[in-house]
Amino acid sequence: MYKCEERAHATRYGQQFAWSKAHENEPQCVRYASIRHINDHTVTLHSTASIPRELSQPTAFWDVLCSFENQTLWRDFRCDGDGSWIHRGLLMGLLVIVHDGSFMSKVAKDVRSAGFIIYCMATKQTAKGTVVERSPDADNYRSKILGGIMVQLVLRAASQCRASPYWM
């Protein structure tokens, strides 16, 4: 690590910095720097750039849901309001959740579907959806699991990035 404050001097090719001592601890990064080595103990500053900030995680229900991969899952999803009621209902134990799957091998051996609904007993709001999947591994058990996974994804989106006093 080059200590810049003490032994820097300007030249026509830019400011040069001479090595003065090494530090064991982590540097306090303010900016990234690109340097050119002059010799074993001297560098010149080529350019600097700001350190990128971390992208903030979405916290609103619809923003989180839209950040999930495979957005085709939500093509037939409807939710009352902004979805914040799902999180509140989950915390207060007021949600009624139902899901089921369907596989009709006589109609199509590679297609399964699922439906789900989330209902809040306090606000009377609902979130519901259906999903269809084509897969060579389609069967009745997998279609029922698909409905449960869809519900879990909705609950995850509603609870994402929120500090909550969950109790058991």
Average confidence (pLDDT) over 72-80: 94
Instruction: Say whether both 29 and 107 belong to one domain.
Output: no
6 confidence band (pLDDT: 50, 70, 90): very low
Instruction: Say whether both 40 and 101 belong to one domain.
Output: no
- Its pTM stands at 0.61
Instruction: Say whether both 35 and 68 belong to one domain.
Output: no
Instruction: Say whether both 66 and 107 belong to one domain.
Output: yes
Instruction: Say whether both 30 and 74 belong to one domain.
Output: no
Q: Which domain holds residue 22?
A: 8-50
For the chain, what is the domain count? 2
- Cα–Cα distances (Å) from 62 to 91, 157, 168, in that order, read 19, 8, 27
- In-domain check, residue 146: yes
* Residue 9 in this model has a pLDDT that exceeds 60: no
* Residue 161 in this model has a pLDDT that exceeds 70: no
In which element (H, E) is residue 127 found?
A: strand 126-134
- In-domain check, residue 20: yes
Query: Rounded distance, CA 126 to CA 78, Å?
Result: 8
| Cβ atoms within 10 Å of 87's Cβ, excluding its own | 18
Residue 42's pLDDT is 83
